[in-house]
């Protein structure tokens, strides 16, 4: 399967737009909870944040693989 650069750009922009929508749900619906969450995250050690980011990326790649390959 070959994808042109223009089509790839549309996919990346669409994925980023979806990311922004999903990221904005919690602050929009419950700004107090979003503030508490950010406060707790700011007090976490960097290593714990890195592991959380790694797990999040792995789950995202897994979900993307399932979505693309069924």
pLDDT digits (tens, 9 = 90+) for 13-54: 999 999 999 999 999 999 999 999 999 999 999 999 999 999
pLDDT score for 17: 96
Burial 3-33, CB ≥16 within 10 A → b, else e: eeeeeeeeeeeeeeeeeeeeeeeeeeeeeee
Mean pLDDT, residues 5-18: 91
pLDDT band at 3 (very low <50, low <70, confident <90, very high): confident
59 is in which domain, residue-wise? 5-69
Residue 1, pLDDT > 80, answer no
**What pLDDT score does 24 carry?**
97
Calculate the alpha carbon distances from 2 to 5, 6, 7, 8 in Å: 10, 12, 10, 10
Number of domains observed in the structure of the chain: 1
């Amino acid at each position: 399967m070959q994808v042109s650069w223009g089509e790839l750009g549309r996919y990346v922009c669409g994925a980023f737009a979806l990311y922004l929508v999903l990221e904005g749900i919690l602050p929009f619906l419950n700004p107090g909870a979003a503030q508490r969450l950010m406060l707790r995250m700011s007090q976490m050690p960097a290593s714990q944040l890195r592991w959380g980011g790694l797990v999040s990326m792995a789950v995202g790649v897994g979900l993307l693989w399932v979505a693309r390959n069924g």
